Amino acid sequence: MALTETGKYSQGSVLGSVNPDIASERQTASFSVEKLTAWLDGGAERTRLRRAVVEAIERDPVFSRENQYFQSQNESYEAAVRKAVHLQKKMHEMGWTDDGPEFKYIYRALSGDLAFLLHRIFIRSISVLGSDKQIAKWIPLATQYQLIGSYAQTELGHGTYLQGLETTAVFDITTQEFVLNTPNISAMKWWPGDMGRSATHTVVFAQLYINGKCYGLHPFIVQIRSLQDHSLCPGITAGDIGPKMNFEHIDNGYLMLQNVRVPRENMLSKFCEVQPDGTYVRRGSQKINYFTMTTVRISLISDEVVIPLMKACTIAIRYSVVRRQSKLKPREQEAKILDYQTQQEKLLPQLAAAYAFYFISDYLQELFNRGYREIQRKNFDMLPELHAFSSGFKAMVTQYGTSAVKICLQACGGHGYSLLSGLPSLYTKIFASCIYEGENTILLLQTARFLIKCFMAASTGQSVPPSVTYLAAVTPEKCPAKNKLDFLSPDIYTEAYQHMAARLISSTAAKLQDLIQSGVKKHDAWNQCTVQLAQAAKAHCHYITVKNFAETVEKLETQPGIQKIMKHLCDLFALHGIFSNAGVFLHDGYVSGAQMDMVTASYLDLLAVIRKDAVPLVDAFDFTDKTLNSALGSYDGQVYQRLYEWAQKSPTNKQMSPAYERYLKPLLHKTLSKL
Amino acid sequence: MMMNADLRRERAAATFQPELLTHILDGGAERTRRRKEIEALVINDPDFQHEDLNFLSRSQRYEQAIRKSSLMVMKLREYGIADPDEIYWFKRICLGSFPEPFGLHFSMFQKTLETQTTDAQKEKWLPLVHGVKIIGTYAQTEMGHGTHLRGLETTATYDPATQEFILNSPTVTSIKWWPGGLGKTSNHAIVLAQLYTQGQCKGLHAFIVPIRQLGTHEPLPGITVGDIGPKFGYDEMDNGYLKMDNFRIPRENMLMKYAQVEPDGTYVKPLSDKLTYGTMVFIRSLIVGDSARSLSRACTIAIRYSAVRHQSELKPGEPEPQILDYQTQQYKLFPLLATAYAFHFVGAYIKDTYHRISGDIHKGDLSELPELHALTAGLKAFTSWTANAGIEECRMACGGHGYSRCSGIPDIYVTFTPSCTYEGENTVMMLQTARFLVKSYTQVSSGQQVTGMVSYLNDLSRQRIQPQHVAARSVAVRINDPVSLVEAYKARAARLVEAAAKNLQAELNHRKSKEDAWNRTSVDLVRASEAHCHYVIVKLFTAKLAEISNAAVRAVLTELCLLYALYGISKNTGDFLQAGILTDAQITQVNQRVKELLAIIRPNAVALVDSFDFHDVHLGSVLGRYDGNVYENMFEWAKKSPLNKTEVHESFHKHLKPMQSKL
């Protein structure tokens, strides 16, 4: 890349050719990238469809994300609205539908930078919680964008604990209306997306009062802005909650209600109804509500965690074969940074985790589909397990994924810190997933509650769901591995994970019982064990992830080329977990000190093996350059040229800053006192 | 406004006086007084008021930063503040979480000119620098080169005919990239370039290069300069790029205190280049202190907010408790609080040690430098990694509101996180420390004694004579005694250094080249360095306890020190178990004791963050306000958001309305 002629800088002539340092990585792939891509997509036909959708989106300049990193909050919001509006047109043109197979690919191509995502939740909540009559009235209006909806649950002072929400809805029998109020500043609705500027309507969760009696939380459809001129309706105070770490394109909002009246028919009444005389009627089972949360948590794992993690790995690994720094051998050229063991040890386990979570997300989806079929047959038996799974995995995967993206960011040195690397925005976005749809610690404790219950049941011989039968299984006292190669056997490491998870769950259960028997109140005992309980829940999810990865690899026997590399990744994922959590495996002597040295040796050996296929393994994720939107991660590896050209487009270079005339010049000429 | 009732209760229940602890952190009551006096100068000065920076565009933020930088220059002079600590106090209250575009002018640019120039050069340049007649920066890093300095590509070719150097950026990778203040602010830069004279490359040298025209501030012919674009943080800073095309500077612009180029092009070699070591040690020691302060600020915000925020129920039928009463919340935050204190004491130790031996350094006695250099490299990496993760954890502990810019934690995080990279990439730093550790280990193996923080390696040879020694150790560890825990950390460090050194030897025995063997052992080597640094921190924290005279303060710091040490064990149980330093049963006790300590520290948590004594202006956080009136002020803050400037956003007229009328 010797660019001695100045002209070449602006022409960008190297763009278009592939950097030889990245090209050479692709020549030695041990497997067919195209085959792996097709397998990940679920068949070559799906790959074709995905590429067609992505191409259609990317060819349309309205959807361009090139200036994304230069935008102010106002500009981002406007762009998101513009894209969302344009997308309606586009979908109509292309014949795509909201519930068709394309939507997921559209979302992927746009990286979710789109307004009206809460509008979709608005629609979903009416479909699930509304009566047939309500559905008939509101859904057509919403799908045709005659109104824009949001979903207002969280309040300034209340998130996790729904019973604590303070917004009230008092039934007024004389006018047949509900009167909604925000009694306190902490009761203000806070955070709902699309609510700050866009929404005309929102579903508000409020404590229902009839004749002075509180009936708990219920959903109400409330109009907040005029359909004519978009001004706020009487009694409504609403606006944007201000800048955040990311999601600047979304107008997360606040909402204050002062004696806002809505007709009786606006309470969503599939399960509960207030009759004209004020009689409160409950009907049907609300268990299905749980199921909605489960759906959201499971789909979030793939859309908001696995995809960003795959992107981060793609960027960091491609950059690490282009970036050369220091020398591994004297007299040789500076080495690619991916050739350093420490760099491999940062990035390759994250790559393995991206694959592991991709597979666990499939597994959860399948489990969910099975559960859904049962529920349609009015069998709710699977609900507790589904709920526990979706909570625990949401927590474990978002937390792991966030830390993995952070590692990718930090592994790119200074350039990773530039927004143009794409990594900071991936990080700040994935980070939010640890909080929304259930704070992670709370979710892990929900899973732990389920595990403790199952453990108690299993130890008294009662039947438990298949995923937790291992809690009662008899396993060997000691890990049988004799040399480092034994640790490349999935049976060996899966069993080690199983043993470790079962031990953590049983010892926590025992501790809880001890405390209760010694006279500690149940809730106090629970609080005293929560650190351990959260750890046990994570261990359970880690075990299932390893086991599922191993089973996925086993099923690949028809594709030996892919199977081999997937096996390496599975081994790496498992051994990395043992290596980084050595204490819990060593604790009761299941793994001995000598065996831990074997784990470390095998683990480090694997890094060098996977290193050779690292670039093909990220190529297989098949992200276009526009989707990655990264100067460091593009397919052609022309990192520096792209970075240089892109930086010159920054507004700080294009607009004249008044800073010099106003401040620097007077300072340099010592006339600042005139300021 | 009244103080929030929860915080009032928390403060009343503390078992010690926070001011006394503040004095310890500041280094004496008089220094606390002076610091507050200086802070008041800024806080009460209307010239320093401005809109919340989070509501401004990047260009506007840069402009504000320049305004403040210029003002600070004038005001510091007006007040006659010249002591480095006092300048620092003044600036940090003024800047909050943010950097200033003049930062490099007063640090690297000025310092380099003071230390690497001849007397004639000093006479010419220093008045210009001190009087801010010119503004300079320090341009070392290139787009393709950071860590490996010898790989820099910028060239300075001497032309004896005109007695000038010709500067060139021969490739795109050679463009100077990242220097702060380079993009828009500076009119001069110290440029590091490969010197060519008489057809030979003489390696890297420093040159003073004018880049913008005095008076008009336009880039000079042959200079391409600009801003490198938006970053994760550092919006105030115009990190820049610089490309030079046959740009000529006079021979006198090479910094010639050490190496020289004579008019005819003859190159005169420098005597020693070890002196630059000292500056690096100094700057890295500042990062250790900065890790402590950044983590302390995040802890202050998260702990105060956790005392104000109520959620869910602990006991059926009772009101929602403060989230700080949940064990999981305490487990997230209190070890970080303990870490913040530990790092404060470590930062102070390194700073003192540097000042103690810098006299020797100037006299040419460099004997203590290698160890201090190795130690600061490792501690810089260890503390910045830990603080970085800790700030993130604090943000996570504040739930959704931690994600809002009004919490202030995002700003602390994005400003702090690059310190894992700059002034020495952390992994590279850890490997430098490891090199020193392996060297010391090799010395011990060959029968020599080593001194200083690595002297524990001397014990290794004794242990080999008495094979029972290590096993016997495990029973000896007393988990309630910090001094005994220091021994446990020492044993772990010794074991990991030894393991890494042995693995390195084994790789070498496999006919690997020295470099290959080093690379194939580097994961082990980093672990060894981490264990060494961890030991040093526990040791320094423990040593500090003895210096504290007030019993109540000593008691609470002892609890924090124990928590720091025990928590570290519980997070690294594998190392302690595998080496036989602790038994399974002891690990269980450690885990239990950590949880007991959380409950013991709980009543003092707010007082412990109050002791850091961050003024609200410096903290820049709605969640962490001293008075705890969080929700009212979040609402007030949000109302000022740019999206709220008009009641109906223009997007309605541009996009929403047309869509609705078409569908």
Helix (H, G, I), strand (E, B) or coil at B16: coil
Asked if residue A43 belongs to a known ligand binding site, the reply is: no
Q: Is residue B116 part of a domain?
A: yes
Token pair listed for B544:
């500090």
Q: Measure in Å the smallest separation between the Cα of B572 and chain A Cα atoms.
A: 7
Are residues A326 and B431, on separate chains, in Cβ contact within 8 Å?
no
| CATH code for position B213 | 2.40.110.10
ipTM of the complex: 0.94
Please write the tens of the pLDDT for every residue from B424-449: 999 999 999 999 999 999 999 999 99
Q: Which residues of B touch A414 (CB under 8 A)?
A: 141, 146, 177-178, 418, 421-422
> Given B392, B393, B423, B559, which residue is catalytic?
B423
**Distance between CA B345 and CA B350 in Å, rounded?**
9
- Respond yes or no: is residue B507 known to be catalytic: no
Token pair listed for A596:
């831990």
Please write the tens of the pLDDT for every residue from B586-626: 999 999 999 999 999 999 999 999 999 999 999 999 999 99
- Separation of CA A265 from chain center: 36
Please write the tens of the pLDDT for every residue from B316-370: 888 999 999 999 999 999 999 999 999 999 999 999 998 888 777 777 777 888 8
**Distance between CA B192 and CA B431 in Å, rounded?**
25
How much of chain B, in percent, has pLDDT values that exceed 90? 82
Per-residue pLDDT, A360 = 97
Determine the CATH number of domain A119-283. Answer: 2.40.110.10
pLDDT(B509) > 60: yes
Token pair listed for B493:
């460090």
Are residues A328 and B519, on separate chains, in Cβ contact within 8 Å?
yes
Smallest CA–CA distance from B216 into chain A, residue: A665
Domain with CATH 2.40.110.10 in chain A: 119-283
Per-residue pLDDT, A191 = 96
Per-residue pLDDT, A584 = 96
Per-residue pLDDT, B276 = 61
Domain with CATH 1.20.140.10 in chain A: 291-620
Residue B193 lies in domain:
105-268
Residue B209 CB partners (closer than 8 Å, separation 6+)? B139, B167, B188, B189, B190, B191, B244, B247, B249, B253
Q: Measure in Å the smallest separation between the Cα of A395 and chain B Cα atoms.
A: 13
Per-residue pLDDT, A10 = 37
Per-residue pLDDT, B323 = 96
CA distance readout (Å), A471 to A79, A453, A454, A455, A476:
51, 11, 8, 6, 14
Per-residue pLDDT, B273 = 59
Helix (H, G, I), strand (E, B) or coil at B418: helix
Q: How confident is the model at residue B469 (pLDDT cuts 50, 70, 90)?
A: very low
Per-residue pLDDT, B295 = 98
Per-residue pLDDT, B277 = 63
Please write the tens of the pLDDT for every residue from B630-661: 999 999 999 999 889 888 888 888 888 888 77
**Distance between CA A381 and CA A404 in Å, rounded?**
35
The DSSP secondary structure of A228-275, one letter per residue, reads TT-PBPTTEEEEE---BSS-TTS--EEEEESSEEEEGGGB--SSEEE-
What is the mean pLDDT of each successive set of 10 residues along chain A, which is 675 residues long?
36 73 96 97 96 96 93 93 93 89 91 90 92 96 94 93 94 98 96 95 97 96 95 97 94 97 96 95 75 84 96 98 92 94 98 98 93 85 90 97 97 96 97 92 96 95 92 89 98 97 96 96 95 97 98 95 97 98 96 97 97 98 97 97 95 81 84 45
**Distance between CA B167 and CA B659 in Å, rounded?**
57
Q: How many CB atoms lie within 10 A of CB A533?
A: 28
Q: How confident is the model at residue B376 (pLDDT cuts 50, 70, 90)?
A: very high
Class of domain A291-620: mainly alpha
Domain count, chain B: 1
Are residues A650 and B657, on separate chains, in Cβ contact within 8 Å?
no
- Which of A159, A582, A585 has its CB closest to that of B400? A159
Smallest CA–CA distance from A323 into chain B, residue: B144
Q: Is residue B578 part of a domain?
A: no
Are residues B311 and A159, on separate chains, in Cβ contact within 8 Å?
yes
List the beta bridge partners of residue A220. A204, A267
Per-residue pLDDT, A97 = 87
Question: Exposed, middle or buried by CB within 10 Å (0-12, 13-18, 19+), for A225?
Answer: buried
Please write the tens of the pLDDT for every residue from B11-68: 999 999 999 999 999 999 999 999 999 999 999 999 999 888 999 999 999 999 999 9
Nearest to A329 by CA among A344, A320, A339: A339
Q: Is residue B9 part of a domain?
A: no
Q: Does domain A35-115 have CATH number 2.102.10.10?
A: no
Q: Measure in Å the smallest separation between the Cα of A263 and chain B Cα atoms.
A: 25
